[in-house]
Amino acid sequence: MTSEIKHHLTDEMLMGYAAGNLPEAFNLVVASHVSMCDDCRARLAEFEAVGGAVLDEDPVCEMSDDSFAATMQLIADMPVEERIERVAPGPAGIFPGPLRDYLGGDADTVRWKSVGGKVRQAILPTSKEATARLLYIPAGVPMPEHGHNGTEMTLVLQGAFEDADGYFGRGDVEVANEELDHTPVAAPGADCICLVATDAPLKFHGLLPRIAQPFLGI
């Protein structure tokens, strides 16, 4: 599986994940990709090791007697959805382990809603800093041409799509920013299912997508 992955996470994204600085939606994409990709899993381990070494070199600080108990209580009180762990893929299915655990099921449990042109989506519950959604795009169907006001991360879970940056198959992740305008098209074969995270609304070029945008939350 991992040997077929051609498009990987950026160092910036991996370092942000290791440091705990990413929004929950991006954490979900990173955790899902890392569980599928040996290369990114190894690079992430390196960043985490560097972070640990930096902490080891920090001067010792005085701590109160109840510091450990208070820290454990903070962890216990943290909402489960904010603690997205990197786990190995579980039983065979479309979704990787972290996404399946996050949703409590695989693709057959998703409640899809039509967004037009036979494309469907399911918006996932995450923190307000960014939005996560699942997209179902029938084979051969194009998405509307669009640019970006921020960062968009797209992880392919089934099938494939093509755009100006190349061909993205299962496990591949595309990180797009304000510099990229594209028209993703689902490749022939299996219908394309993607996990997408965005931290700003997309910039659609067509009139109809712009009219529908407020209702679709894209």
Q: Check whether residue 113 and residue 195 sit in a common domain.
A: yes
Among 102, 129, 153, which residue terminates a domain? 102
Q: Is 26 within 8 Å of 153 (Cβ atoms)?
A: yes
The CATH number that applies at residue 172 is: 2.60.120.10
pLDDT at residue 182, as a whole number: 79
Q: Check whether residue 135 and residue 97 sit in a common domain.
A: no
pLDDT at residue 214, as a whole number: 63
Q: Check whether residue 135 and residue 211 sit in a common domain.
A: yes
pLDDT at residue 177, as a whole number: 85
Q: Sign of the C-alpha dihedral, residues 59, 60, 61, 66?
A: positive
How far is 107 from 113, CA to CA, in rounded Å?
A: 13
pLDDT at residue 50, as a whole number: 77
Q: Check whether residue 136 and residue 208 sit in a common domain.
A: yes
Q: Is 39 within 8 Å of 6 (Cβ atoms)?
A: no
Domain that includes residue 26, residue range? 2-102
How far is 37 from 165, CA to CA, in rounded Å?
A: 20
Q: Check whether residue 38 and residue 127 sit in a common domain.
A: no
Q: Check whether residue 185 and residue 203 sit in a common domain.
A: yes
Among 69, 87, 102, which residue terminates a domain? 102
Q: Check whether residue 122 and residue 198 sit in a common domain.
A: yes
Among 102, 117, 141, which residue terminates a domain? 102
Q: Check whether residue 54 and residue 127 sit in a common domain.
A: no
Tokens for 187?
A: 């490749």
Per-residue burial over 173-184, b = 16 or more CB atoms within 10 Å of its CB, e = otherwise:
bbbbeeeeebeb
Q: Check whether residue 94 and residue 114 sit in a common domain.
A: no
**What are the distances in angstroms from CA 137 to CA 48, 80, 93?**
35, 30, 18
The total number of structural domains in the chain stands at: 2
Q: What is the pTM of this model?
A: 0.78
pLDDT at residue 73, as a whole number: 57
The CATH number that applies at residue 65 is: 1.10.10.1320
Q: Is 194 within 8 Å of 29 (Cβ atoms)?
A: no
pLDDT at residue 88, as a whole number: 40
Q: Check whether residue 88 and residue 176 sit in a common domain.
A: no
Task: Give residue for tokens 């786990």.
Answer: 87
Q: Check whether residue 63 and residue 111 sit in a common domain.
A: no
DSSP 7-37: ----HHHHHHHHHT-S-HHHHHHHHHHHHH-
Please list the pLDDT of the chain residue by residue as tens digits (218 residues): 555 899 999 999 999 999 999 999 999 999 999 999 999 999 999 999 875 444 445 565 566 666 556 555 554 555 443 434 443 444 468 999 999 999 999 999 999 999 887 899 999 999 999 999 999 999 999 988 777 788 999 999 999 999 989 999 999 999 988 777 878 999 999 999 999 999 888 666 666 665 665 656 66
Q: Check whether residue 120 and residue 177 sit in a common domain.
A: yes
